[in-house]
Amino acid sequence: MKNTYLTSILSIFILLLSACGPTLSGKDEQAFKTSKAKMEEKLDKTEKENLEKALRIIVVKAMKDKWNAPDKYDGKSFDKISMEMIDGKNYSAIISYAEDFFKADRDEKIAQKTTEIDSLQKDKQKVVDIIKKIDAFKLTKTFITEDEFFDEKKPYLDLVFTNTSKDDLIGEYMFSIEVFSKKTGEKIAAQGSGGTFNDDYAIKPNETYDYHQPLFSDAVQHSYLWKTAKYPITDFSPHDLVIKAYPIKITTKKDGIIERPKADAAYFDGEIKKLNDEIKALKETKASLDELELTDKE
């Protein structure tokens, strides 16, 4: 019991000695330099480095505070604000003040990134829902036939889209057609095609829409096998072609015009992963001065 009492007294005594150490003055620049030099006389090399780190962090805090509350600090420079923050503080108080801000700033960044993730997840769900609706106008058949074009036989691209939704497709529509080289993956040609379904030509559920147009000239020139081909062609591999088509705009009476978003779900997944990685890295930091390096340290 006696030893515990003595230990407590000793701890309080050490704390009082620490509190009575040299303090920094924020009165003006000269007073600051003089008081800092006096404080550094009592510090070892590591403590001097930590003091410098702490002072730099406090300047960052001053900048942040002024940014967040410009009216409160109107007319005050960053140096003036930081001087007021350190005025009268001893070494341990300055270190604690800087590390408290460092930790609070870290926690704030984690909270901000968490909020951003929540927002991205909501946006992603909206995109997923829109894509699901628009993809209900589904490509169900792709083949190449031969037909006459200005009295000359040419390869024609045939696409069949099926309305797999429960709503009639009316009004504006558009789909994108892309042709790639199977060997290299290079895009050979791309084109949008669309129009307007009027009331007399609505695509009802389970009904189809047929596209029949000359195959893009760049795609035709990519292969020399058209004259010997057996039509209809459903396997495009011998011609080194991959053909993709998908809707980019449809219209329903219920939802009006629905357009495919520029960003897909994969984009949001990538952004969310980046933020989660950043949060993980922030959580692994102790937010102590030991984790910082002086950039101008020799």
Average pLDDT on 125-131 reads 97
Q: What are the structure tokens assigned to 1, written together?
A: 């019991």
Q: Are residues 40 and 100 in the same domain?
A: yes
CA distance 98 to 96: 5
Q: How confident is the model at residue 19 (pLDDT cuts 50, 70, 90)?
A: low
- Structural domain includes residue 119: no
- Which pLDDT belongs to residue 200? 79
pLDDT score recorded for residue 10: 47
Could you tell me the pTM of the whole model? 0.76
Does residue 269 lie in a domain region? no
User: Rounded mean pLDDT of the chain?
Assistant: 91
Whole-angstrom Cα distance, residue 120 to residue 18? 49
Instruction: Let me know if residue 34 belongs to a domain.
Output: yes
Which of 109, 144, 161 is the last residue before a domain boundary? Answer: 109
Question: Quick one: what percent of the chain has pLDDT higher than 90?
Answer: 84
The pLDDT value given to residue 13: 44
Question: Same domain for 100 and 199?
Answer: no
pLDDT higher than threshold 80 for residue 294? no
End-of-domain residue from the set 57, 74, 109: 109
Mean pLDDT of 210-215: 96
pLDDT digits (tens, 9 = 90+) for 60-110: 999 999 999 999 999 999 999 999 999 999 999 999 999 999 999 999 999
Q: Is residue 5 over pLDDT 90?
A: no
Same domain, 142 and 74: no
* pLDDT value for 177: 98
Pair 165, 100 in one domain: no
The domain total for the chain is 2
Has residue 199 been placed in a domain? yes
Contact in structure between 252 and 61 (CB atoms under 8 Å): no
Does residue 82 share a domain with residue 18?
A: yes
Query: What CATH number should be reported for the domain holding residue 253?
Result: 2.60.40
Q: Is 9 a residue whose pLDDT tops 60?
A: no
How much is the average pLDDT of 12-38? Answer: 78
pLDDT at 151: 81
Contact 256, 168 (CB under 8 A): no
Overall average pLDDT of the 184-191 stretch:
97
3-state secondary structure the chain: CHHHHHHHHHHHHHHHHHHCCCECCCCCHHHHHHHHHHHHCCCCHHHHHHHHHHHHHHHHHHHHHHHHCCCCCCCCCHHHHHHHHHCCCEHHHHHHHHHHHHHHHHHHHHHHHHHHHHHHHHHHHHHHHHHHHHCCEEEEEEEEEEEEECCEEEEEEEEEEEECCCCCECEEEEEEEEEEECCCCCEEEEEEEEEEECHHHCECCCCEEEEEEECCHHHHHCCCCCCCCCCCECCCHHHCEEEEEEEEEEEECCCEEEECCCCCHHHHHHHHHHHHHHHHHHHHCCCCHHHCCCCCCC
Indicate if the pLDDT at residue 232 is higher than 90.
Answer: yes
Per-residue pLDDT reduced to its tens digit, 234-271: 999 999 999 999 999 999 989 999 999 999 999 999 99
Position 296 scores a pLDDT of: 55
Residue range(s) defining the domain that contains residue 23: 2-109
pLDDT number for residue 286: 85
What's residue 16's pLDDT? 46
Q: What is the pLDDT of residue 201?
A: 82
pLDDT at 2 over 50: no
